[in-house]
Amino acid sequence: MQEQYSENTLLDVLTSLRKYFFKMVLIFVGIVLVVTIVTFTETPIYEVGSSVMVKYGREYVYRSVDQVAKGDVQPLYTYNGPEVINTELEIFRSNELAGKVIHALGVDQLFPDLARRVEDKKRLFSLAINRFRKQLTVAHVKGSNVIEVTFQHRDPEIAVQAVNLLTKFFKERHLQLFKNPRSAFLEEQVALYHKQLNTTEDALRTFKQNNRIFSLEDQRKILMQQYVNVNTLLIQGNSRLEELAQKTISLEKQLVNVPEVIVRFEETARESNINDANAELLKFKIHERELLEKYPESNRLITAVRKDIRMVEKFIADQEASSQKNVRSGKNPVFQQLKKELIVARADHTAQEAKNKAIQRQLGQLEDQLQRMTEQEAELSGLQTQVDAAEDTYKNFVSKLEDSRIQDAMDRQKMVNVVVIENPMVPVKPIKPNKKINILVGVILGAACSLFYALISEYVLVRKT
């Protein structure tokens, strides 16, 4: 029963198709024709693509201004891979880049239909940016550092220009966003720290001049050597002073035991007179002999001399009969020598005391100089530390300034870590419309519509009967 019903239904369908065949053909042909006409008359859309590789380089190492001011060379933050790619994608998709491309190409050339319909320039520019972003596709190629940029437009030449400009403006914007503090700031810091270095050097130089410091270490050695020498002299002087004191005491003791006056010799008056008379007698006799050689004995001169001889002889005889003694005394030479040595010893002791006091004063002055030098050394060390710190900071900033100038030069040359690995090319075929697919869709749609028409028409007819 069911098989008979199925055969009758299929037969009815075929009968209906034959009944409406002509109209079905008309509907099919009409739809296919319309789709074909629309496909061939539709404005073609071309798609231009470019591939950009992002290399991780100097732009992705961030240093704050405070770090640069401190001369810190360590990065405060380093971007990782996903952050970098997402950042670059957002830069590509930004309204600013789209606006620059539109401004460079012109709305009239890029979107002439919008330019004809919208008169308000601000609204026109805003609509143009929205349409540009809709026609732009920026995507990350998974598993790589490559970004694909595609742009669709009815004019392939304009599409190529748009992609090239977009890539160019992307590099410029990339440099602006990732650029470290500029050289102007570092130049100000270099000038500031150079001034500080000069100030500290002047303070150090003035301190050395005021305190007559040329080579503190050498001066300390010389001063210490002088101190040792003077101290040695003081020790020797004290030893000499003690020696002189002992000598003085010894001489004073000796003087007490030595008489100042001593008896030199004793003689009798007789012996003294006899000796004198014998001497006179000898003179007279010599004179007598001389006269005898010259004059006769009767000469009165000879007579007078002989008279004197007799008188002396008589005196000698008288003295020999006398027994009176004569004692002679004088200063003790030992006492005088000891007294002289005592005077010299006391004078030497006084002189040595004065000399020791002078040496002690000199030693005290040297000690004061050493103390001042110790204090000066601490102050000098502090000033030298300031100079060294200022010099290190200055050199660090000079190095940073050179690096910054190199980076600025690289920025001016647009040397970025973004490389276009595939330049856009003018496409030969548009991506829209796809004629084969459109016609195939038209055929399917025409067949479906004609079949649907036949079934609906048969259903309406059956309902009426």
Q: What is the mean pLDDT of residues 261-267?
A: 58
Report the chain's mean pLDDT, rounded to a whole number: 78
Residue 139 has pLDDT above 80, yes or no: yes
Residue with tokens 């100097």: 58
Strand locations in 178-269 (E): 261-268
> Among residues 418, 404, 390, which one has the least CA distance to residue 63?
404
What Rg do the C-alpha atoms of the chain give, in angstroms?
69
pLDDT: which is higher, 364 or 71: 364
Residue 77 has pLDDT above 60, yes or no: no
| pLDDT value at residue 419 | 78
Determine which of 12-21, 70-79, 150-159, 215-224 has the lowest per-residue pLDDT on average: 70-79
| pLDDT value at residue 453 | 75
pLDDT: which is higher, 167 or 59: 167
Residue 426 has pLDDT above 70, yes or no: yes
| pLDDT value at residue 11 | 62
Residue 78 has pLDDT above 60, yes or no: no
Q: How many CB atoms lie within 10 A of CB 161?
A: 20
Element (H, E) at 147: strand 146-153
Q: What is the DSSP letter of 417?
A: S
Helix/strand/coil for 151: strand
| pLDDT value at residue 75 | 46
| Bond into 433 cis (ω within 30) | yes
Q: Encoding tokens for residue 159?
A: 């599409």
Question: Are 445 and 33 within 8 A, CB to CB?
Answer: no
Instruction: Find the distance separating the first CA and the last CA of the chain, reported in whole Å.
Output: 25
Question: Are 283 and 342 within 8 A, CB to CB?
Answer: no
Domains and CATH numbers, the chain: 1-42+433-465 (no CATH), 45-181 (3.30.1890), 225-385 (1.10.287)
For residue 90, what are the contacts with CB-CB under 8 A and spacing of at least 6? none
Question: Are 450 and 27 within 8 A, CB to CB?
Answer: yes
Helix/strand/coil for 419: strand
Q: What is the mean pLDDT of residues 128-145?
A: 90
For residue 219, what are the contacts with CB-CB under 8 A and spacing of at least 6? 213, 373
Q: What is the DSSP string of 74-142?
A: S-SEE--HHHHHHHHHHHHH-HHHHHHHHHHH-HHHH-HHHHHH---HHHHHHHHHHHHHHHEEEEE-T
d(CA 144, CA 410): 26
- The reply to whether the predicted model has a pTM over 0.85 is no
Confidence of residue 410 (pLDDT cuts 50, 70, 90): low
| pLDDT value at residue 65 | 47
Longest dimension (CA), the chain: 239
Confidence of residue 129 (pLDDT cuts 50, 70, 90): very high
